Amino acid sequence: MTDLSQDREIEKARYNKRAERVVASDTSNALCADGAISISPELRTPYLEYEALIRIHAHLGSEILDVCCGNGLHSLIASKAGSNITASDIAENNLMLVNARALRARVKITTIVANAERVPLPDSSFDVVTCAGGLSYLDHSKVLAEINRLLKDGGVFICVDSLNHNPIYRFNRWIHYLLGDRTKSTLLRMPTMRVFDDFEREIGPVVCRSFHGIFSFLIPLLKPLLGASTTGRVLDYLDLSFPALRSQAFKFVAVVQKKI
């Protein structure tokens, strides 16, 4: 078994155990609210943008696939547009939480246990594929080729994920690895600016990209003084003020369109 395969099993077990604790409790009360509203204000902006982009591309009857969906925090965003939503994840207990969210929201969703590199669904099945924070768990070439296969011509891939250039964020991830909170493969596969070349090679042109959290490392200093919401606004302002430092961002959001 390769290091990636071993680490994938470790991560699968970790997320299954985490979801199991929620399932074992009163799931309806233990689950946080759907969407970016559940993310702390100082870190919320990239997820608000991610969800806004999904809404732009979601239409009545459109087919949307959320890969590496986790507990489904962002999976239901397109439901109000009348889109047909499918959510996939390698951890089966996560999908129990996704279904609980759908039941709570009174919407329909299809769930499927699958490695995002090999989704057992037909070619050209989806108008939109989404992914929030899943790229570091996957072989980029394989998963992007799979997304390309699943997208209809002209369809879009929308993602929000982390960048791995800023030494402060890299150090923090290494500490979490040493503490056993993440595997080595996730460190090695954390996206860099080269991921945009990967998008264009495997899928098509990047039609939208943005960068967030260049100075998120200041949160422990600013939040006690300014509060979460004001800290978020200050960090957003700094992101706009220092575009040359975008490679040092904590998060990026991208829309990639499949070539016709």
| pTM score, whole prediction | 0.96
Q: In what side-by-side order are the strands of the sheet with 84-89?
A: 110-113, 84-89, 63-67, 126-132, 151-162, 251-257, 206-212
Q: pLDDT tens digits, the chain, 260 residues: what are they?
A: 457 789 999 999 999 999 998 888 766 567 899 999 999 999 999 999 999 999 999 999 999 999 999 999 999 999 988 999 999 999 999 999 999 999 999 999 999 999 999 999 999 999 999 999 999 999 999 999 999 999 999 999 999 999 999 999 999 999 999 999 999 999 999 999 999 999 999 999 999 999 999 999 999 999 999 999 999 999 999 999 999 999 999 999 999 999 98
Q: How many domains does the chain have?
A: 1
Looking at residue 1, what is its pLDDT?
Answer: 47
Looking at residue 27, what is its pLDDT?
Answer: 60
- Domain hosting 113: range is 3-32+41-257
Contacts 24+ apart (CB under 8 A), 193-201: 193/163, 193/165, 193/247, 195/135, 195/140, 195/161, 196/254, 198/140, 198/141, 198/144, 199/144, 199/157, 199/254, 199/256, 200/256
The continuous run of DSSP H or E covering 190 comes out as none
Rg of the Cα atoms in the chain: 18
Which CATH number goes with the domain that contains 168?
3.40.50.150
Looking at residue 186, what is its pLDDT?
Answer: 94
d(CA 78, CA 84): 8
